[in-house]
Amino acid sequence: MRIDLGGEVAMVFGAARGIGRAIAEGFSEAGATVAYVDRSPTVGFVAGQYRRHSGRKTAAFVADVTDAELMRQVADDAFRDLGRVDHLVYAAAVGSGKFGMPFWNLEPGDWDRVLRVNLLGAVHVAHAFGPLLAEAGRGSMTMIGSVSGQIGSQTDPPYSASKAALINFAQCAARDLAPSGVRVNTINPGMVDTPLNRSVYEAWAATQPRASRQGWEDWSSEKIRRLVPLGRWQEPEDIASMAVFLASPMARNVTGQTINVDGGYVMHW
């Protein structure tokens, strides 16, 4: 069954690259008008390039999710310019850029930006759009978490902790918005070949003696063999497919859930 979101509007935060960009394109392919939101000025080019290539309707907002007042302005502008907003996907995220094993390899100051983007950015977006979705009596929010938010990955403790908090916040939001018919869920990607994952490798490699340092291909292949039962990378498009499904009527009774797209990385027995 093909998912049809024609006539609906989706906003994807962190849409200039990686998983966020794939999600934006996935919603477009399902027929939605998509607003790409990112702090990078390239987001307008990315949205325009996809519009020219596909012929589908897109919009773009250059905005930093760490600015709560700016998120309220984006919400007002989106409802004014697009007429409606039905779905939000929060895919903005950063890592500390350091290898955090043991955790005291990092300084307390290394946590600040990670928490401001990965957690408080989502809170700002939810505060800006949540009441408007509740008033409309429809819609969905999807937070992009991480398996590291479930298992306490030691490679980047600030990132892991922020994603654990994001999962919890999504459940709080799901309860609050359910009476209004708005659904909130979290998708946890596993091993995805994105710039963020490569930065984890680079942080690890910087701590290793040159003689024993693995290259990216060897390091990542070994990690997948060891940790992922299906034995392969997850693609950004895999996350996009789940995000589109969760926004669709087929998921009308799914809210407050944390769904892993991880090749079996995390299994709860």
162-215 pLDDT, tens digit each: 999 999 999 999 999 999 999 999 999 998 987 777 777 777 788 888 877 888
Q: In what order do the strands lie in the sheet with 258-261?
A: 58-62, 33-38, 9-13, 87-90, 140-144, 183-189, 258-261
Q: Which amino acid is at 256?
A: G
On average, the pLDDT of the chain sits at 93
How many CA atoms lie within 13 Å of 144's alpha carbon, on the beta-carbon side? Answer: 32
Peptide bond into 102 cis (omega under 30): yes
DSSP letter assigned to residue 39: S
Which is higher by pLDDT, 88 or 226?
88
Q: Say if residues 34 and 88 touch (Cβ distance below 8 Å).
A: no
Q: Is 80 exposed, middle or buried (0-12, 13-18, 19+ CB in 10 A)?
A: exposed
Q: Give which of 154, 188, 186, 164 is closest to 265, Cα–Cα.
A: 188
In this predicted structure, what is the pLDDT of residue 101?
74
In this predicted structure, what is the pLDDT of residue 131?
97
DSSP letter assigned to residue 233: P
Q: Say if residues 188 and 266 touch (Cβ distance below 8 Å).
A: yes
Q: What are φ and ψ of residue 194, in 5° steps? A: -130, 165
pLDDT in tens, 204-259: 788 888 877 888 788 788 888 998 999 999 999 999 999 999 999 999 999 999 99
pLDDT in tens, 129-163: 999 999 999 999 999 999 999 998 888 999 999 99
Domains and CATH numbers, the chain: 9-191+235-261 (3.40.50.720)
Q: Say if residues 227 and 136 touch (Cβ distance below 8 Å).
A: no
258-261 and 183-189 strand pairing: parallel
Assess whether pLDDT exceeds 90 at residue 102.
no
Q: Torsion angle of alpha carbons 12, 13, 16, 21, nearest 10°?
A: -40
Q: How confident is the model at residue 109 (pLDDT cuts 50, 70, 90)?
A: very high
Query: What whole-number distance in Å separates Cα of residue 119 and Cα of residue 66?
Result: 9
Query: What whole-number distance in Å separates Cα of residue 43 and Cα of residue 35?
Result: 10
| SS3 state at 113 | helix
Question: Which pair of structure tokens corresponds to residue 171?
Answer: 């459940």
Which is higher by pLDDT, 209 or 64?
64
Residues 6+ apart with CB under 8 A from 62: 38, 39, 40, 41, 43, 44
Query: What whole-number distance in Å separates Cα of residue 169 and Cα of residue 141?
Result: 12
- Lowest mean pLDDT of 23-27, 119-123, 165-169, 264-268, name the range: 264-268
pLDDT in tens, 5-57: 999 999 999 999 999 999 999 999 999 999 999 999 999 999 999 999 899 99
Q: How confident is the model at residue 128 (pLDDT cuts 50, 70, 90)?
A: very high
**Which residue in the block uniquely carries the two structure tokens 């999710």?**
65
In this predicted structure, what is the pLDDT of residue 238?
97
Residues known to be catalytic: 159
| SS3 state at 48 | helix
In this predicted structure, what is the pLDDT of residue 269?
56
In this predicted structure, what is the pLDDT of residue 100?
66
CA gyration radius, the chain: 18
Q: How confident is the model at residue 98 (pLDDT cuts 50, 70, 90)?
A: confident
In this predicted structure, what is the pLDDT of residue 61?
98
Alpha carbon 149 to its chain's center: 13
